[in-house]
Amino acid sequence: MLPYLVGAIIVVGLPTLYIAVRYREYRKFLAGAFFVSSGMQFYFYLANIPIPLVWTDAVQSPQLSAVRGAIHFVLFLVCLYFGWVFRGQPATQAGA
């Protein structure tokens, strides 16, 4: 199972990271997605709801939901800052 998860992270995660670094609008979208995800994960933790993983016999514990919620909240803050607040350095013109 672990090789499949690592492969999925590489196949899906690396292109997502590339697009997030290049495009500000994508970071804005990710900020919203991470906000909703962190809220749902914290809800699952507070309500003590175990989450079954699709097509497996594995179950995500509420404690893992709390950890995922905290990670997603930090990612929300990072994407919020770089998507909405931070403007970056203006490009300088060559020869000016």
Which residues fall within 8 angstroms of residue 41, CB to CB, at 6 or more apart? 65, 66, 68, 69, 72
51: DSSP letter: E
Q: Over its length of 96 residues, how does the chain's per-residue pLDDT go in tens digits?
A: 778 888 888 998 888 888 888 888 999 999 999 999 999 999 999 999 999 988 889 999 999 999 999 999 999 999 999 998 887 666 555 555
**Residues of the chain by 3-state class (helix, strand, coil), percent to 5:** 70, 5, 25
pTM attached to this predicted model:
0.77
Q: Are 83 and 28 in contact (CB under 8 A)?
A: yes
Closest C-alpha to 50, from 38, 61, 37, 66? 61
